[in-house]
Structure 1
Amino acid sequence: MRVLHFVTGGFSGATKVAIDLVEAHNEIESTENLLVLRRKKTTVPEKFAELEEKDIDYEVVTGITHMATIHELKKLCEQWRPDILVAHGFPEHLLGRRAGLLAKVPYLVQVEHNSQERYTPWKLYQTRKLSKSTASIIAVSEGVAQVLSGQGLKAPIQAIPNGIDTTRFGGMNLLPINERPQDLIMVGRYAKSKDHVTLIEALHQLKQKSIKPNLTLVGSGRKYYQKEIHNLVERYELHDQVTFIGYSSEVDKLLLQHKVFVMSSRFEGLNLAVLEAMASGCVVVGSQAIGVKELIEDKEDGFLFPIGDAAELAGIIETILSNPSNYQVLATAAREKVLSYYDETRVTKAYHDLFQKLLSGS
């Protein structure tokens, strides 16, 4: 079985899922895997070190224009001759499947990683047309599957929720919440959808009440949004409370130092950072966005707040930090949930089972 995974080279959540799948499936003797990245501005050499350390075979195709991407990927498919092409995310699933069709790849698989994408009428027409030649469409959460079901697609849709490496995040001897030295952390790329603004607004409201928790922001992303958040922090004079960390390969260590994880996103597919924080024993606070709210049972294993509601978020943070040990039970329940339902071994097996089913024609 030869499987080619095509995904953005922006090293987003979709890229991480593709990397995890390739790494896991490389352990299966009967499977050969190739990761193909579409070059982005953030596709820098230092990010390839992780792939090389994991012995992942990868190629990078141009991202200059869509037609150029399709042309290079088509040529690569003709050379490598995959049995299955798995195209992750938007617009990569359009480009990847078009290239796969031109190269006569036997089976095409679309993986949708988000609940809201920039589908113009033309793009929606393309994805509907491509679905007729697609063997399977995978949604990374039930919420995403529901969105896809309304697009008029012809291929079968199934949900395979994303998972994480539970051997990396957490551990056996986690510090209890009240003994962790840092207060708040958010891990996520800088983009409008992540809505860092609401979190900074909440921090500002807390400061006006003389409550001054520290906050660590981890992630890279669009310079425009990074500048917006830096400017907002300066405007509210929160620079003594906020620490900015760019792309980090040590998120697992950072999470263990923090009491509360916040995800203020406006929409997601299924947020891996939330799962990582839950596995790490943080008290998790998330917005009611698709891809976040289905991971958290409010006041049972975390907290939910309305999208964009800084006042509600500030109130939740104040409540938790006033007596963190009261919420240890929520953090423990969240970790147990991830260990039971969101371990990546379940995910990689589900993908491999699907690939075998496609090749067997069953």
Structure 2
Amino acid sequence: MPSQLPAVRKKILIASTNADLAGAPIHVLTLVTALQTSFDFFVVLGEDGPVRQALLAKGVPSTVLPTLRSNINPIRDFRCLMAFLRIVRSERPDLLHAHSSKAGMIARMAGYLQRLPCLYTVHGWGFGEGRTALQSTLVYWVERAFSHIAGTAYLFVSNADQQVGIERLKIRPDRCLTVHNGMPDHGCRAKVESSTTVIMAARASHQKDHDLLLKSFEECRMPFRLVLVGEGTDSPEFHARVLAGAPTKHAQVDCLGLSDQVPQLLAQAGIFVLCSRYEGLPLSIIEAMCAGLPIIATDVGGVRELVEDGVNGFLVPAGNQPALSNCLDRLQSDTVLRVRMGQASRERYLSSFGDKQMAMAVAQRYRAMLGTV
């Protein structure tokens, strides 16, 4: 019998708007790292940054296309599309996989023009909170128009985002699949029974609503230390917000700025908080669950797919300071509850939110679209 030729590895071209240490770029890095032995990858990013450098260190080729980061602009977007098409024709991928709104728009057009299958991972819709009414309306109608492009399938990091896509954008359910975010085990475990420190890992932005946390901290009855880590949390402007939000307790607030030691900081804490105004499926909560921390979070986006209220933490309404203060005081005063919820977080992470679960589900979607199942 003639010997069989070895199977040709399929090539995936990934496009991501950013390359910083935010949710979508970290998702890309985690995915490529987990599937590097099964597929060939080429990554197009809108900027250089730590994620691109990490990919290069792993031997994953990439290039920077700066116009992939700009706001919607017909002339600039046409130039971006032409440049992206040149990359696609040069790299000759079998499938395109886009992350975030701008990259998703360009990759879907390129896939249609090149007759290539395109997978678009939605990390939260770009027409929600955090934009002006004009921006939201424009992005909504662009997404509505693009939802009809043939050859595109959708991945969602949360069921909440999938529901929005089906109900508001009328995307056919058979083109949709939710694959929750996943992260590798960082190996750091919190000593929840002995620590009362509360930590929030989030950049300083309107979305993350640090002012709510500071006011809640000021009103808490139980004493504890508050650690704030993330880009911008060490700036003079942010320190002024701390003084305004917690005038009598500001000395108990540590503002650490951007850090590559977040897992180690989580291990020193007893409670994790995220009080965002809006979210997709935040990696910061998954990282805290990995450490075995109880979670207090606002009930927005896909957060309730991570936090089961009363089981591995508490959900509170966005903007509700009394509810957040009450939950903080309750966990601070009940060590047994804190430990039980922390253990539930760790178990939930292991069962559903590791990098391998996510990568296997995405790989299965790749193979289905490539016809190699």
- The alpha-carbon distance between structure 1 residues 214 and 252, as it changes in their structure 2 partners (threshold 3 A), is same
- The alpha-carbon distance between structure 1 residues 153 and 353, as it changes in their structure 2 partners (threshold 3 A), is same
- The alpha-carbon distance between structure 1 residues 47 and 163, as it changes in their structure 2 partners (threshold 3 A), is closer
Paired position in structure 1 for 2:121: 111
Structure 1: which amino acid aligns with 2:175?
Answer: P
- Identity across the alignment (%): 25
| Residue 128 (structure 1) aligned with residue 144 (structure 2) | yes
CA distance in 2: counterparts of 1:146 and 1:169, whole angstroms = 34
Paired position in structure 1 for 2:155: 138
CA contact (8 A) 1:4 1:86 kept: yes
CA contact (8 A) 1:81 1:105 kept: no
Paired position in structure 1 for 2:194: 179
Paired position in structure 2 for 1:197: 211
Paired position in structure 1 for 2:180: 161
Displacement of 1:239 in angstroms is 3.8
Relative to the length of structure 1, the TM-score reads: 0.87
**Greater shift in the superposed pair: 226-235 or 347-356:** 226-235
CA distance in 1: counterparts of 2:127 and 2:297, whole angstroms = 20
CA distance in 1: counterparts of 2:110 and 2:211, whole angstroms = 38
Structure 2: which amino acid aligns with 1:292?
Answer: V
Displacement of 1:124 in angstroms is 2.9
CA contact (8 A) 2:200 2:272 kept: yes
Paired position in structure 1 for 2:64: 60
- The alpha-carbon distance between structure 1 residues 239 and 51, as it changes in their structure 2 partners (threshold 3 A), is farther
Paired position in structure 1 for 2:346: 335
* Alignment counterpart, residue 356 of structure 2, candidates 345, 350, 361: 345
| Residue 152 (structure 1) aligned with residue 170 (structure 2) | yes
CA distance in 1: counterparts of 2:363 and 2:192, whole angstroms = 38
Paired position in structure 2 for 1:23: 33
| Residue 38 (structure 1) aligned with residue 46 (structure 2) | yes
* Alignment counterpart, residue 283 of structure 1, candidates 290, 294, 309: 294
**Greater shift in the superposed pair: 104-113 or 347-356:** 104-113
Give 3-state SS (helix, strand or coil) of 2:305's partner.
coil
CA contact (8 A) 2:127 2:139 kept: no
Paired position in structure 2 for 1:9: 18
CA contact (8 A) 2:29 2:51 kept: no
Paired position in structure 2 for 1:247: 258
Give 3-state SS (helix, strand or coil) of 2:346's partner.
helix
CA distance in 1: counterparts of 2:18 and 2:276, whole angstroms = 22
- The alpha-carbon distance between structure 1 residues 17 and 200, as it changes in their structure 2 partners (threshold 3 A), is same
CA contact (8 A) 2:12 2:94 kept: yes
CA distance in 2: counterparts of 1:273 and 1:354, whole angstroms = 25
Paired position in structure 2 for 1:232: 241
- The alpha-carbon distance between structure 1 residues 68 and 241, as it changes in their structure 2 partners (threshold 3 A), is farther
Q: Which blocks of at least 5 consecutive residues in structure 2 are unaligned?
A: 1-9, 71-75, 129-134
Deviation per CA, 1:190-226: give whole Å up to 9, x if none.
32222222111111222xx5x44222222226x9x96
**Greater shift in the superposed pair: 58-67 or 115-124:** 115-124
Give 3-state SS (helix, strand or coil) of 1:340's partner.
helix
Structure 2: which amino acid aligns with 1:141?
Answer: S
Give 3-state SS (helix, strand or coil) of 1:177's partner.
coil
Deviation per CA, 1:295-345: give whole Å up to 9, x if none.
111111111111111111111111212243442111101111110111111
CA contact (8 A) 1:25 1:33 kept: no
| Residue 316 (structure 1) aligned with residue 335 (structure 2) | no
Paired position in structure 1 for 2:268: 257
Displacement of 1:169 in angstroms is 4.2
Relative to the length of structure 2, the TM-score reads: 0.85
Displacement of 1:20 in angstroms is 1.0
Give 3-state SS (helix, strand or coil) of 2:347's partner.
helix
CA contact (8 A) 1:62 1:68 kept: no
CA distance in 2: counterparts of 1:356 and 1:47, whole angstroms = 25
CA distance in 1: counterparts of 2:78 and 2:260, whole angstroms = 33
CA distance in 2: counterparts of 1:309 and 1:323, whole angstroms = 22
CA distance in 2: counterparts of 1:234 and 1:24, whole angstroms = 43
